[in-house]
Structure 1
């Protein structure tokens, strides 16, 4: 196993623990979860802080979700494609939010050693967020493209509307009463609107 593969394996084992314990997670806990000796962690990372920084970079990165979007079969019905896309994107946002909030709440505010695309609070700077959003939007456009001829709007506009509806499901300042659309409702509203009879309005 290469050093990069070992680092990736350790990060994958650490992420769920960070979501639970934040920066208080111990390297011995991570080693047990990864099925390795604790010393192996320090052969892959110079210290715990570097490992936590790598976990932040993995959580905010979009490579994983882009691979999931690219794996959605284009011969499925559009509603099914968008449902799979919504589930993948929501899982990505939840994973990112859990890791970043947990670390930040437990004192991992460091600037030193963070990847260039990541701020101390775990969020990427604005230009990196813009690039990440554009990459996700482009991936959704590709999923919609096969149905261009039956859509009233171009795939780019449909993708923008889809992501707008999807992000409305994020936690709201309204608090516990916030009742976001289900995935099925979101896709139905996007493709069919909210009127039972489109000609009635």
Structure 2
């Protein structure tokens, strides 16, 4: 059969090394784990990744290893830290912090969704201590890198701060983490949270009666 000269020849996608393949599979699997929990099938993951199911098992020994890698990816703050580091320091501080809140909430939401989906589907709540990618970050390690990135956002105002940027960032991080916790009558909006943090609880526009 003669090839139609008008039809460009299909190019084979460049080969991935095992680490790239693992990362691609985990990226495809994460939203499925949020939706289906541990009951997600490797067939669904393969379809989402655009690969054959057998390809998964060339880089993962079994589905449990895929799920553990998804949990590890959800816990690691690397992506959030990169986004925090990209926030422009030329903006006013409230605008910097508004961007930071959205980044942190996205990270916390993803982490909670993956963990919650796994538990709801009957997985043990206790997470594994490591994967084939290495040890999972503990709680403090997972908070330290975002806290350092948040401190950098406060650094231009160091001379105006009552505490060092690192301590202010620690307090701000805790506020973000607890502002949307279950049981709150009405979660704080980003604007209200930043205003409360920077200006305190008193409304300076109201005179004391």
> Are 1:73 and 2:88 matched, yes or no?
yes
Query: Structure 1: how far apart are the matches of 2:98 and 2:206?
Result: 26
TM superposition score normalised by structure 1: 0.85
Q: Could you say which structure has the larger radius of gyration?
A: 2
Query: Structure 2: how far apart are the matches of 1:151 and 1:171?
Result: 28
> Are 1:179 and 2:194 matched, yes or no?
no
Q: Which residue of 2 aligns with 1:189?
A: 196
> Are 1:95 and 2:102 matched, yes or no?
no
Query: Structure 2: how far apart are the matches of 1:183 and 1:117?
Result: 34
Q: Where does 1:142-157 land on structure 2 (aligned, <5 Å)?
A: 142-157=152-167
Contact kept in structure 2, 1:140 and 1:159, CA below 8 Å:
yes
Over aligned residues, Cα RMSD in angstroms?
2.2
Unaligned stretches of 5+ residues in structure 1 = 119-123
Q: Where does 1:46-195 land on structure 2 (aligned, <5 Å)?
A: 46-109=61-124, 114-115=130-131, 117-118=135-136, 128-172=138-182, 174=183, 178-195=185-202
User: For 2:38, which of 9, 15, 23 is the aligned residue?
Assistant: 23
Aligned residues: 190
Unaligned stretches of 5+ residues in structure 2 = 1-15
Once the 2 structures are TM-superposed, how far is the Cα of residue 159 of structure 1 from its aligned partner?
1.1
TM superposition score normalised by structure 2: 0.82
Q: Which moved more, 1:83-92 or 1:187-196?
A: 187-196
